[in-house]
């Protein structure tokens, strides 16, 4: 039996699951695969089953991360799977057996598509529902905060409003609980910090709400991309000063730890809301608590936290201007099995010459 080689180029969580699905516990431990999903109950066998037809007994070898193989120096891989990094002509030439370049994520801007087409290499960029859900959650938190949704629900449930001040007309009593400072997204300015995949998806979703979008990023986008997105570049100080909502989508890099500190919050409008669906470690929570208690900013929506699960006592628990969720923006972790399965379906298809899903081609010149 002739053997096929697959190379997985990075080791974030979804690619670790891809490794497990192909090679089983020879590459990733069964304990890690089970613990990844907890407290959701998922058996590692479900993940391994997603790799059916791509296991060692099927003639497929996975280049192990522990081998420290540099694909730029050449391998016999037929498939490259990656999430982050650059795939250029030089790398393709070093791997002459390539049939498929599979990116985990729908952006193709780090892949030389023209070089792939010239060499007959198929390229697929897999949209990830979990990233779209995260973008949705950021918008959800903006809406819930500006409309004071949690307080409104609690007050209606508890029946705690001043009946003497409510005079329904024809059975209609607008805002009978008397909430003030109600708003929304329409006409607001939203500042996006970090225009990676989730930040870009958030921008796309926000366009339907009639907002003005400004962004800051390590690298400014070309003007044509800014126009296509409908987003205006700003320095960090200008973004903070202009925005009614500041939504964090920056990369979880070591240098970003605690970057959202008191110096950031003091530059925001006192009526502005801070949203974090990225990583909690990037926020100085003591500084955020001070800003929320002292009216430096109006509120915060947090799906991610400095320590997870949140410790008890919870510094934000008594604050009515904070909405918290337990790191659920990306949806159920079981949904990642579907992402892994779709990716591996492409691998199976490419190896037998069938069309792959989410194929990306170079734009015609």
Do 200 and 135 lie in a common domain? yes
The secondary structure element, H or E, covering residue 151 is helix 149-158
pLDDT of residue 11: 81
Q: Within this chain, do residues 301 and 217 fall inside the same structural domain, yes or no?
A: yes
**Residue at 211 is within a domain:** yes
Residues 193 and 310 in one domain: yes
Residue 35 lies in a domain: yes
- Indicate whether 67 pLDDT > 70: no
Residue 73 belongs to domain with CATH number: 3.40.50.720
Q: Does 279 participate in catalysis according to the annotation?
A: yes
Domain end point (choices 306, 324, 342): 324
Domain presence at residue 166:
no
Evaluate whether residue 361 is within a structural domain: no
The residue assigned the tokens 């697929």 is 124
* The pLDDT of residue 66: 62
Structural domain that includes position 229: 131-147+183-324
Domain count, the chain: 2
Burial of 81 (0-12, 13-18, 19+ CB in 10 A): buried
Q: Given a cut of 80, is residue 65 above it in pLDDT?
A: no
Clarify whether residues 244 and 337 are in a common domain: no
Instruction: Determine, yes or no, domain membership for 51.
Output: yes
pLDDT score, position 352 = 92
Is the pLDDT at 96 greater than 90? The verdict is yes
- Antiparallel, parallel or unpaired: β 273-276 and 299-302: parallel
Indicate whether 364 pLDDT > 80: no
For 188-225, how does the pLDDT look when each residue is reduced to its tens digit (9 = 90+)? 999 999 999 999 999 999 999 999 999 999 999 999 99
Give the residue-averaged pLDDT of 36-46: 91
Most distant CA atoms of the chain, gap in Å: 84
What does the mean pLDDT of the chain come to? Answer: 92
**Catalytic residue check, 167:** no
Percent of the chain with pLDDT over 90: 75
Reported confidence tier of residue 345, pLDDT bands at 50, 70, 90: very high
Shared-domain flag, residues 114 and 9: yes
Are residues 99 and 188 both part of a single domain? no
Residue 327 is among the residues annotated as catalytic for this protein: yes
According to the model, what pLDDT value does residue 98 have?
95
Q: Which of 83, 279, 281, 310 is catalytic?
A: 279
When pLDDT is cut at 50, 70 and 90, the band that residue 253 belongs to is: confident
What confidence tier does 71 reach under pLDDT thresholds 50, 70, 90? Answer: confident
Residue 205 in any domain: the answer is yes
- Asked if residue 141 and residue 104 are part of one domain, the reply reads no
Residue 13 confidence (pLDDT) above 90: no
Q: Identify whether 155 is part of a domain.
A: no
pLDDT band at residue 22 under the 50/70/90 scheme: very high
Other residues' Cβ atoms within 10 Å of the Cβ of residue 85: 14
- Among the options 327, 333, 338, 358, which is catalytic? 327
The verdict on 198 and 122 lying in the same domain is: no
Residues 337 and 295 in one domain: no
Is residue 212 located within the same domain as residue 252? yes
228 and 278: one domain? yes
Give CA–CA dist 197/317, Å, rounded. Answer: 31
pLDDT the model gives residue 229? 94
Asked if residue 163 is part of any domain, the answer here is no
Angle made by CA atoms 207, 252, 212, in degrees to the nearest 5: 20
The residue count of the chain comes to 365
Express each pLDDT in 285-309 by its tens digit.
999 999 999 999 999 999 999 999 9
pLDDT over threshold 80, residue 138? yes
Model pLDDT, residue 258 = 86
C-alpha–C-alpha distance, residues 14 and 335, integer Å: 11
| pLDDT tens per residue across span 159-177 | 888 888 888 888 888 888 8
Please check the confidence at residue 365 and state whether its pLDDT lies above 70.
no
Give the pLDDT of residue 195. 93
Residues 187 and 313 in one domain: yes
What is the percent of the chain where pLDDT is above 70? 98
- Residue 60 tokens read as 């497929």
What is the average per-residue pLDDT within 307-335? 93
27 pLDDT more than 80: no
């Amino acid at each position: 039996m002739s053997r096929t080689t697959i190379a997985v180029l990075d080791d974030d969580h979804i690619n670790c699951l891809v490794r497990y699905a192909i090679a089983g516990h020879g590459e990733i431990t069964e304990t890690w695969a089970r613990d990844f999903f907890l407290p959701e109950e998922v058996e590692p066998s479900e993940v391994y089953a997603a790799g059916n037809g791509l296991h060692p007994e099927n003639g497929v070898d996975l280049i192990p991360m522990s081998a420290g193989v540099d694909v730029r120096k050449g391998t016999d891989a037929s498939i490259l799977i990656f999430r982050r990094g650059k795939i250029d002509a030089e790398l393709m030439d070093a791997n002459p057996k390539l049939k498929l370049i599979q990116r985990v994520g729908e952006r193709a801007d780090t892949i030389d598509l023209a070089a792939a087409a010239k060499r007959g290499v198929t390229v697929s960029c897999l949209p990830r529902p979990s990233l779209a859900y995260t973008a949705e959650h950021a918008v959800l938190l903006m809406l819930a905060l500006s409309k004071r949704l949690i307080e409104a629900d609690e007050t209606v449930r508890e029946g705690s409003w001043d009946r003497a001040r409510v005079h329904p007309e024809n059975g209609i009593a607008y805002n009978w609980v008397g909430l003030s400072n109600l708003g929304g997204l329409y006409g607001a300015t939203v500042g996006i910090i970090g225009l990676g995949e989730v930040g870009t998806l958030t921008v796309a979703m926000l366009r339907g709400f009639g907002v003005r979008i400004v962004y800051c990023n390590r690298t400014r986008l070309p003007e044509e991309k800014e126009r296509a997105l409908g987003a205006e570049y700003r320095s960090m100080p200008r973004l903070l000063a202009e925005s009614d909502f500041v939504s964090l989508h920056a990369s979880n890099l070591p240098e970003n730890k605690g970057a959202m500190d008191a110096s950031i919050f003091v530059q925001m409008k006192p009526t502005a809301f801070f949203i974090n669906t990225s990583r909690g470690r990037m926020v100085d929570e003591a500084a955020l608590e001070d800003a929320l208690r002292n009216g430096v900013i109006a509120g915060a929506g947090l799906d991610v936290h400095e320590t997870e699960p949140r410790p008890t006592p919870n510094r934000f628990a008594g604050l009515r201007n904070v909405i918290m969720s337990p790191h659920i923006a990306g949806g159920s972790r079981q949904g990642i099995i579907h992402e892994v399965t779709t990716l591996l379906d492409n691998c199976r298809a490419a190896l037998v010459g069938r069309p792959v899903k989410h194929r990306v081609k170079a734009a015609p010149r």
